[in-house]
Amino acid sequence: MHKVIFDTDPGVDDAMALLFLHRHPAIDLVGITTVFGNASIETTTRNALFLKQAWNIPAPVAKGSGETLDPDRPHVGWPTGIHGDDGLGNIGVPAEIDLPLDPRCAHRFIIDTVRANPGDVTLVAVGRMTNLARALRADPEIARLVRSVVIMGGAFDVTGNITPAAEANIHGDTEAADAVMTAPWPVAVIGLDVTTKTVMSRAMLSDIAERGGRPARLLSDISQFYIDFYEHHVDDGMIVHDSCACVYVVAPELFQTRGGAIRVICGGIADGQTLQKPDGRLFPPNAWDDFPSQQTCVGIDADAVLKLIGDTLANGS
């Protein structure tokens, strides 16, 4: 079993990833921590509570950060054209959800849970890396106590999606992302190199909605606005960015990876770019030296990943 804390900014593809984690038999979802990104922290936290309630997810929700690690970093507007004004495809999420939040803030929840389960917790982070960086800053020793960190973010051998250089989750808090990539915990980065190859067709989503009961129908309703956005980018359907990271936790054999230290460019026109120094390549002394080798995904068996997502979403209890 994998004990997972899901750090998320729901977000349409976040919603699919959450249902995947909830329904996969090898995952024990022990917490949901929220971060700003696809919408404000108030909206993403409300959405996490909405999905917890709708899908009867036992894991607690802890509210996270609404501000970048460097508070002077300029604010980038919310991507309402992709995720809707409510962050969940404009399905009409109630303004308030009558469920309690965990009393701790997200980074404290992460620290406490990791310390209570040394060596056991996998952090799956599919929004900005702010909460993870704050947890590291408050308690650097947790890096040695986490089982692994799996990130959706970055663009290594391909162009970005928010600038030619940068992917949105990394660009949204570059200093935080660099802190996470360079910490002494094992990180696997699932970036645009592989997620953009993983497109769920409308037909597949409607088949899941038919087989997966009411929770899957809600997921399908949430996803329609996002699919309309992707009409300009893919032939048919939606890129399932965040679910790819969740699949990596249970089926890493469906990905090809490359090892090497990873840095995030902070500032300038390439702000948010992720750059890896592949293991074994020799250079004069540079800013990648002495940082841990992390794994970047460079290949994916997209058909097998989509099948695993579809079967998991459809096979609810």
Interacting positions 241-260 with Ca ion (CB under 5 A): 242
Q: Which is nearer to Ca ion, 191 or 260 (CB)?
A: 191
Q: Which is nearer to Ca ion, 126 or 151 (CB)?
A: 126
> Which range binds Ca ion by CB under 5 A, 119-127, 180-188, 192-200, 300-308?
119-127
Considering only residues 16, 126, 133, 200, which one is a binding residue for Ca ion as defined by CB under 5 A? Answer: 126
Considering only residues 5, 7, 11, 248, which one is a binding residue for Ca ion as defined by CB under 5 A? Answer: 11
Quickly list DSSP for 95-160: S----PPPSS-HHHHHHHHHHHSTTTEEEEE-S-SHHHHHHHHH-GGGGGT-SEEEEE---SSS--
> Which range binds Ca ion by CB under 5 A, 12-20, 69-77, 154-162, 219-227?
12-20
For residues 261 and 292, the answer to whether their CB atoms sit within 8 Å is: yes
Residues known to be catalytic:
241
The distance of closest approach from Cβ of residue 11 to Ca ion in the complex, given in angstroms and rounded to an integer, is: 4
Residue 60 sits in the site that holds Ca ion (CB under 5 A): no
Residue 89 sits in the site that holds Ca ion (CB under 5 A): no
For residues 198-226, one letter each, b for 16 or more C-beta atoms within 10 angstroms of the residue's C-beta and e for the rest, the string is bbbeeebbeebbeebeebbebbbebbbbb
Q: x/- contact string, 199-238, with Ca ion (CB under 5 A)?
A: ----------------------------------------
Tell me if residue 30 falls in helix, strand or coil: strand
> What CA–CA distances, in Å, run from 51 to 46, 218, 230, 271?
9, 9, 23, 33
Q: Which is nearer to Ca ion, 14 or 178 (CB)?
A: 14
Q: Which is nearer to Ca ion, 246 or 306 (CB)?
A: 246
For residue 185, give the DSSP letter.
Answer: S
Dihedrals phi, psi of 278, to nearest 5 degrees: -60, 140
Return the closest-CA partner of residue 160 out of 274, 84, 28: 274
Considering only residues 87, 127, 215, 310, which one is a binding residue for Ca ion as defined by CB under 5 A? Answer: 127
Q: Which is nearer to Ca ion, 86 or 261 (CB)?
A: 86
Q: Which residue has the tokens 């309703």?
A: 221
Q: Dihedral of the CA atoms 285, 286, 289, 291 (nearest 10)?
A: 170
Considering only residues 14, 167, 178, 193, which one is a binding residue for Ca ion as defined by CB under 5 A? Answer: 14
Report the distance separating Cα 82 and Cα 286, nearest Å.
Answer: 38
For residues 150 and 180, the answer to whether their CB atoms sit within 8 Å is: no
The distance of closest approach from Cβ of residue 86 to Ca ion in the complex, given in angstroms and rounded to an integer, is: 15
Interface with Ca ion (CB under 5 A), residue total: 6
> Which range binds Ca ion by CB under 5 A, 57-65, 96-104, 228-236, 239-247?
239-247
Report the distance separating Cα 238 and Cα 232, nearest Å.
Answer: 11
The distance of closest approach from Cβ of residue 127 to Ca ion in the complex, given in angstroms and rounded to an integer, is: 5
Q: Kindly report the number of other CB atoms within 10 A of residue 56's CB atom.
A: 9
The distance of closest approach from Cβ of residue 213 to Ca ion in the complex, given in angstroms and rounded to an integer, is: 24
What's the burial of 237, exposed, middle or buried (CB within 10 Å: 0-12/13-18/19+)?
Answer: buried
Q: Which is nearer to Ca ion, 9 or 178 (CB)?
A: 9
Name the residues that contact Ca ion, by CB under 5 A. Answer: 9, 11, 14, 126-127, 242
